[in-house]
Amino acid sequence: MADNSQSQPEQSVSGQNKASPDTPPYRKQLQHDAYTIGWVCALPKEQTAARAMLDEEHEPLPTPRNDHNAYTLGSIRGHNVVIACLPIPVSP
């Protein structure tokens, strides 16, 4: 059997997940470079469907202030995935 030690990402340095009232305590927080698959959605409805495909959802990571996309992090069958959704345009 192949050694999968490199395919398994490391958890955050803190080693502890701090739970908020709406966050389950078991969610992982990985580093940005642990994610190797990107899934781009144009509509929030598409992001909802993509999110339902995740086996596990991860804690969000910091994003730049000028990045208005919506991100969901998680994994599918051991692959770490970033689901990105474009911002909803504001009507003038």
Tens-place pLDDT, residues 44-87? 999 999 999 999 999 999 999 999 999 999 999 999 999 999 98
Please report whether residue 69 resides in a domain: yes
pLDDT of residue 5: 43
Q: Which residue did the predictor score with more confidence, 24 or 6?
A: 24
79 Cβ neighbours under 8 A, 6+ residues apart? 36, 37
Please report whether residue 36 resides in a domain: no
Under DSSP, the state recorded for 34 is G
Binned at pLDDT 50, 70 and 90, residue 91 comes out as confident
Please report whether residue 27 resides in a domain: no
The total of other beta-carbon atoms located within 10 Å of residue 87's CB is 10
Task: Say if residue 36's pLDDT is above 80.
Answer: yes
At residue 37, the 3 state secondary structure works out as strand
Which residue range forms the structural domain that includes residue 76?
46-92
Please report whether residue 66 resides in a domain: yes
Please report whether residue 78 resides in a domain: yes
Please report whether residue 17 resides in a domain: no
Distance of CA 71 to the CA centre of its chain: 6
Average pLDDT, the chain: 80
89 Cβ neighbours under 8 A, 6+ residues apart? none
pLDDT of residue 67: 94
Task: Say if residue 32's pLDDT is above 70.
Answer: yes
Structural domain count of the chain: 1
